[in-house]
Structures are given as C-alpha cells and as structure tokens.
Structure 1
Amino acid sequence: MNARRLIPSAALAGAVALAATALTGCSGAAASGTGKDGRLDVTASFYPMQFLAEQIGGDHVAVVSLTKPGVEPHDLEITPKQTGRLGQSDVVVYLKGLQPAVDEAVAQSGVKAVVDAAALTELEAHGPSGHDHAHAHEGEEGHAEAHAHDHGESGADPHLWLDPAKYAEVAKGVGAALEKADPDHAADYRKNTDELVGKLTALDAEFKNGLQNTASRTFITTHAAFGYLAERYGLDQEGISGVDPESEPSPARMKELQELAKKENVSTVFFETLASDKTAKSLATDTGLKTDVLDPLEGITDQSQGADYFEVMRSNLKNLQKALGSK
C-alpha cells in the first residue's frame, strides 16, 4: 500500500489553535458579513478551496479564486492586484504548503479571518512510489523522509481533497469559519455544510465499493498527487515525475516503471488535463500500455471530465476501475 508518515500531532494542534485564534479575532465587515453587496467577501487560493466556500456559503458569499482556470496551481505567481484584493477580503480560505506565493501573500495580507485547510485535518507524508515503502519497517523514518513530497512543513502531502473523507473534515472547518465570520447566516452555513459532508461521505462509499475487488492494485500517473486516495482505498500510487508534473523523469525511473508495469499487471498510464501528457505517452508506448486521464482536480477547464468536484471524482473512479480491472 502507499506508505505514509503522520505529521506530528503537536504541530497539527498548534496550527489548529493558530487558525482558531485568527478566526475569533475577526471584526468589522468580516464579523457582520456585510460586503459591498451584502455578501461575505471570500478569497480562495485554488479550485478545491473555492468549491468548498461556494458550496457552503451559497448565496451569502462572493467567492474569488486566486488561481484562474487552466493555471497549474503549484506555479502560481500573485499579481499586485490580487495581493490588494486579498487584503480586502472578509475571509481567506487556502491550503498552506501547496502554493508558496499564496502562503507569503496571506501572511502579509493582514486578514484576520484566515482558514488554513492544512490545519483542519491530519496531514501525512507520501512517497511518489508506493512500492518503495510497501515493506518498510517502523523506525525507518529517514528512508521515508527521503522519498516524501517536498511540500509544506515536514514533507507533508497537501493533496488532501482527493480523499473525500479528509475533504469532509476540511469542509466542516470551513463551515465553522463562515459561521464565525457571518453569524447572521450561521444556520444556513451549518445546513449547507451538513449536506456537503453527506455527499462526500456517499462519494467515499462509492470509491470503497468500486475499488474493493480489482485485478491490480497499482496505478501509474504523471503527478504523484494521489497518495491520500491510494492510502484510503488500499492502492499503490506510482508517480512518473513525482510532485512536479512538468519535471522530466530519469531514464532509471522510466525503466523501473516499465518493469513494475509488467510485474503488477498495470494496463494504463494516467495523465492529467493541466500538464503535458508527453511522459505518460512515452512510457505507454515503450510498454504497450493504454493512456487515460486521472485528474488531480487542481482546477476545472473545458477539458475536465466533469463540471465540478463530484463529477470529476466520479470520472476518476470510473477510469481507475477500468484500468485496475474492477470485478
């Protein structure tokens, strides 16, 4: 299975406490929930955070994302205009450790109501290769650290939204934050949060049932973003290029994947919509495999296999079932 290393709970507790302090300190327009048009002005860092704010906030919020559709979130650079808008927000929802430019801008914004999704659930460190750690013994932390994602604090993997259960935990935290920022509409935020969590719980069940019996448990993808998904459903993720979907894999890595594909009965090499499919197609050609889309859901475009989070996640499930030989 995709090996993991839990981020120390003390660090998590500190982050949660920090977020809570920031939220209880909100005042003025943020506290009353009255922006220019009477709605709460929310800035989200990228699509998964935007989706939560929109679903929970409903008609009571006006949400703007710092990451435009089609832009690879990891490479985002903040414009002066965006920095200015960020400082005028009632609430900011972001995920610390994914976008360095956003982390810096949020820290300098002065906004009191800041919601860090990474502080709302327990993060883990995942290696780009599940098989590297499948037989690792406890105490080999140095070995796991060497293969961990180079994201966030302590090598934390930020791609938590690809696990519906973890995403539901974050949804609850975002809902609580909106309630604090706009108490007049707290009942609506609570209702919307409960409905969203219910949908995410149902999606989690769909993945568990849909991936329970498969011919293979290993999938190869260009972007090693699916560590949480793999861990949740007992799969092994093999990333071609690691965390950065644009980086070039070494010849040794390509050879390793060719051998692993044969050994693990892999049928498909997955690529994504926001990054080049060159390496995926190259590996597929060399090994006689098929290619398909596994979307890390960092943004929605016209090329996405769905119009929102739920539609794309269900497309991912369907593609995984086909590739893994679901029975």
Structure 2
Amino acid sequence: MMIRNKRVLYIVLLAILTVVMAGCGSIASSKAKMVQGKVNVVTSFYPLYEFTRNIGGEYVNAINLVPAGVEPHDWSPKSRDIKNMTQAQIFVYQGAGFEGWVEDFLGSLSADSTLKVVEASKGADLIKTTENKEEYDPHAWLSPLNAVKMAYNIKIALIEADPAHKDVFEQNYTKYAAKLTDLDARYKKEIAGTSKKEIAVSHHAFAYLCRDYGLTQMSIMGLSPDAEPTAQDLKKMNEFLKEHGLKYIFFEELVSDKLAKTLAKDAKVDTMVLNPIEGLTDEQMKSGKDYISIMDENLKNLVIALQ
C-alpha cells in the first residue's frame, strides 16, 4: 500500500511539473532551431526580435532568447541558448550595458567564428547615467527615433549576411522606419497637448521617452527593476506626487506591482501600466500585440496621467 501511494504521489508530482513547465516560456525557447535557406538571427530580447522580424520578413528565422513573461535585466543564457547563438549567422544584442552576460559570451567565441555580432544601440542617441559618466541608460528602444537607428543596424547586418535579398530588406526597413517615425509624431502631438509633464514610475526606464517628449520621471527603483528602494526613496516619491498633483503611479507587467500599489494606496493615488517593452507576456503574444501597438497603449495611458 505504501509503495502504491508513493507511486501515485510521484505521478501527481510529475503531472504538476509537466503543467508548470508547459507554461514556462523557456520550453518554447529550447525548441527554437536553425532553419536552412534562411538567415538565422538570434536576438537578446524582445524589441530586437521584433525589429529583426519586420525587416527580415520571410527570409529570416528570428529566435528570441528571453522567454515570454521573463524580465530580461538579470536573465542569462543557458547551454541551449549559447548553442543557438553560435550556430546562427547573426547575433543581435542591445549593448549600452543592458546584457551583463554578453561580454563573456563574445569572449568565448572561437577565432574562426563567422557569427556576425550586432550591437543594436551603436550610433543611437544614448543618455549617460548620472551615477557614472562612462555608463549609459540602456533603454534606448523606448525612443522611436532610436528604434529607427537600431533597426538600421539590423538591416545592414542582414544585407551583409544575405546580399541576394538586399532590396527586400531595404524595402522592409523603409516601411518599418516610417511606422516608427509616425509613432514618434503621435507622441509629440499628444504629449504636447497635456497640462502636466511629470510621471511617477516604478522602474527608471523611461529617460528616453522623457527626453524626446519633454517629460520628467520620478522612479521608485533605479535602472534595474528589482533594485530595493530605501525609505528615503519612498519619501521622495510621496513628495513628488504631492508637489505635482499626480494621480497615478506607473508600474510594469513583468515585475511585481506590489510595491507600486502599496505606495499608491498610501499616497491615495491610482496605478496604471507603462510598459518598458522589455518582453511580452504569453497573453500579449497570443493577442498579436507588438512594439508599436504597446507603445501606442503607453501613449494613451500617459495622456490620461498627464491631464
């Protein structure tokens, strides 16, 4: 009887584990494979995957390393991810200090490696951090005009890897760059018409939005979303909310909203999402959302908060 009970328990635990693993984005990541006849591109996180997919179209097999629903700041590649990177024709990463693991990976490549490495943020208009003048805020993709430059860097690499389809990549880039430019124009128009110019956020990720559109952000946490705020940080946020008459604290979906909601409750304000688009949830992917549609959702929420 004891043995049978243990066997039943084992089967139940195995079933639970299977369900949990099935819901984990890393399973989908491990199934990613190289495709013959296409340019295989591995990207370090979602926005780069989205830009690559739009420019490469049918001639590119894009693989996103960070699984759906996972916050990429502290993510690091597993052995299967490294295998995909070394087998691909192109590896695209953000740079500007965003991926702490990239330096070790690039250093591990053999001298005869043919992998094309693209630092997407190279040449973008980057913001130096106040903490260290030699470091940059890596969240450059939240400026649509920086996104144009990042997409351009990806386009160049695709043309070098597959010159036969240069015209297609050029056309796709031109179309996508126009969409990003239109997005920038929408932001300029909508935010110019708001009465407030200050936002309260959980994660200090929106410096590029603030610079491009004349806003000021006050954050609970720093550049990394899991940084622990001090009592002084929380006090400053409360003072900022009162000083500017703000009615909302923005939080993001891939990080716990507990602190933001607690602080909002204490300050008698509401919470709303401002998505740094570091990754999509499974639900967002299934509903067909993408970089531009989420940036438009961000704009709607910003306009509400800035009234």
Name the TM tier (shorter chain): 0.7 to 0.9
Runs of 4+ displaced beyond 6 Å:
none
Tell me the SS of whatever aligns to 2:249.
strand
Equivalent position of 2:123 in the other structure: 120
State the one-letter code of the partner of 2:158.
Answer: L
Is residue 2:59 matched to residue 1:63? no
Match of 1:17 in 2: none
1:150-189 matches, within 5 Å, as 154-189=134-169
Contact kept, 8 Å, 1:89 with 1:111, in 2: the verdict is no
Q: Is the counterpart of residue 321 in structure 1 residue 303 in structure 2? A: yes
The superposition leaves residues 181-229 of structure 1 with CA deviations (integer Å, 9 ceiling, x where unpaired) of: 1000000000000001000000000000010022211101111110011
* 2:121–2:149 CA contact under 8 A, matched in 1: no
Structure 1 residue runs without a partner (length 5+): 1-34, 127-143, 149-153
Amino acid at match of 1:321: V
Between 1:54-63 and 1:170-179, the stretch displaced more is 170-179
1:197 paired residue among 144, 162, 177: 177
Q: CA deviation at 1:122?
A: 2.9
Would the aligned equivalents of 2:35 and 2:61 in 1 still touch at CA under 8 Å? no
1:243 to 218, 223, 229: 223
Which residue identity is paired with 2:86?
Answer: G
- Letter of the structure 2 residue corresponding to residue 286 of structure 1: D
Counterpart for residue 102 of structure 1: 102
Between the two proteins, the alignment pairs up a number of residues equal to 268
TM-fit CA distance, 1:317: 0.2
Residues 219 and 237 in structure 2, CA contact (< 8 A), matched pair in contact too: no
- State how far apart, in whole Å, the 2-side matches of 1:194 and 1:107 are: 34
Equivalent pair of 2:86/2:115 in contact (CA under 8 Å): no
Deviations 1:104-143 (A, max 9, x none): 22342344411101213132124xxxxxxxxxxxxxxxxx
C-alpha separation in 2, matches of 1:276 and 1:145: 25
Residue 289 of structure 1: how far off its partner (Å)? 0.5
Structure 1: distance between partners of 2:119 and 2:103 = 10
Kept in 1, the 8 Å contact 2:88–2:115? The answer is no
Larger radius of gyration: 2
* d(CA) in 2 for partners of 1:306, 1:209: 26
Aligned counterparts of 2:240 and 2:35: Cα–Cα separation in 1: 57
TM-score, normalised by the number of residues in structure 2: 0.84
Normalising to structure 1: TM-score of the pair?
0.79
Could you tell me how far apart the structure 1 residues matched to 2:259 and 2:126 are? 29
Kept in 2, the 8 Å contact 1:246–1:276? The answer is no
Match of 1:294 among 274, 285, 304: 274
Counterpart code for 1:157? D
After superposition, the C-alpha distances for 1:39-89 in whole angstroms (9 at most, x for unaligned) are 011100000110111000000000111111111101112111111221111
Matched with 2:249 is 269
Q: Which amino acid aligns with 1:62?
A: N
Q: Which moved more, 1:214-223 or 1:183-192?
A: 214-223
Deviation track 1:120-178 (CA, whole Å, cap 9, x = no partner) reads: 3132124xxxxxxxxxxxxxxxxx336x7xxxxx2201101100011111111211111
Identity of aligned residues (%): 36
The alignment yields a C-alpha RMSD, in angstroms, of 1.6
Distance of 2:203 and 2:35 partners within structure 1: 40
What aligned pairs does 1:134-149 form with structure 2 within 5 A after superposition? 144-145=130-131
Residue identity matched to 1:120: G
Tell whether the 8 Å contact from 1:168 to 1:200 is kept in structure 2 after alignment.
yes
The residue that corresponds to 2:239 in the other structure is: 259
